[in-house]
Amino acid sequence: MDEAAQLYWNRYGMPIVNYSCIQGWTGDLRGRGNHGNDPLFVDTGRWDDNDTPDDFGDDTWIQGNYHLKPGSPCIDAGDNTAVPADITTDLGGGPRFLDDPLTADRGKGTAPVVEMGAYEFFRVFLDIKPGACPNPLNAKSKGKLSAAVLGTEDFDVTTIDPATILLTGEGFAGSITPILWSYGDVATPFEGQACDCHDLDGDGYLDLTLKFSTQDLVQMLGLDQQQRDTILPLILTGNLNEENVNTASSNK
């Protein structure tokens, strides 16, 4: 499927496309800053055939989560000049311009460069089972899994709307919501290698602690069918409170 299936134009000429991520991009439409790479959405929407692939009448649409994952080629890759002056927030209510310090600017304009797509990428520290290392999960447990969004000198966790938080697994469909949340200083950000950890407790900054149903997570990730000692990266997304939309720092 090339870009002809993604774009429509009339007989008066081809559209002008710049700084966009387009499935099947061939370059035939030219333009600047375009690509067809996987945008790395948290969860792409899809049709569920309800186990009846020959019957389209009972198909249901599973809504996706179109926030960007770390490493997405759409981060800091849009065109600042294409954003109307009165647009200050993204689709989720967060700031429309945020700079990711770990991603080189590839778009047009001075930092912060807008993302391609509806949502800005927002990097925060997440600790699974805060204060513990390693972080094993007992798939037979009927209890709760703890996770904490960690506050720092530059990030106030009270600006997050806990009701919008979703937890999913990398490469898995679906997501779950926290059943409880609270505030407290419970952990220190870990800046080492991915899937490594430490057991440090609080660092003087307020954290947002979340409780998820272990069995909901097991069912979503199919953990009862996974081999022992399997490592599964988890992804947490959420939006800022409406009153904090225009006051969030742009360097997180």
Give the tokens for residue 27: 């370059």
The confidence score (pLDDT) of residue 145 equals 93
Cβ(139)–Cβ(148) below 8 Å: no
SS3 content of the chain, % helix, strand, coil (to 5): 10, 25, 65
The confidence score (pLDDT) of residue 171 equals 74
Distance CA 162, CA 97 (A): 22
Indicate whether 234 and 174 sit together in one domain: yes
Predicted TM-score of the model (pTM): 0.64
Residue 30: burial class (beta carbons within 10 Å; 0-12, 13-18, 19+): exposed
Indicate whether 200 and 237 sit together in one domain: yes
In a domain, 50, yes or no: yes
Cβ(221)–Cβ(235) below 8 Å: no
In a domain, 249, yes or no: no
The confidence score (pLDDT) of residue 183 equals 97
What does the DSSP assignment read for 15-37? PP--S-B-TT--STT--SS-B-S
Indicate whether 232 and 133 sit together in one domain: yes
| Domain end (from 91, 123, 155) | 123
In a domain, 240, yes or no: yes
pLDDT, block means (10 residues), the chain with 252 residues: 76 83 89 94 87 90 87 96 94 86 92 95 86 86 94 87 89 88 94 81 95 94 80 81 47 28
Indicate whether 111 and 141 sit together in one domain: no
Indicate whether 135 and 230 sit together in one domain: yes
Range of the domain at 164: 125-244
Indicate whether 223 and 129 sit together in one domain: yes
In a domain, 112, yes or no: yes
Indicate whether 163 and 103 sit together in one domain: no
In a domain, 141, yes or no: yes
Q: Own/partner pairs for 231-235, CB < 8 Å, 24+ apart? A: 231/195, 232/169, 232/170, 233/169, 233/170, 233/194, 233/195, 234/126, 234/128, 234/147, 234/167, 234/168, 234/169, 234/170, 235/42, 235/69, 235/167, 235/168, 235/169, 235/170
The confidence score (pLDDT) of residue 93 equals 81
What does the DSSP assignment read for 96-118? S----TTS---SBSSSSPPPSSS
The confidence score (pLDDT) of residue 8 equals 77
Domain count, the chain: 2
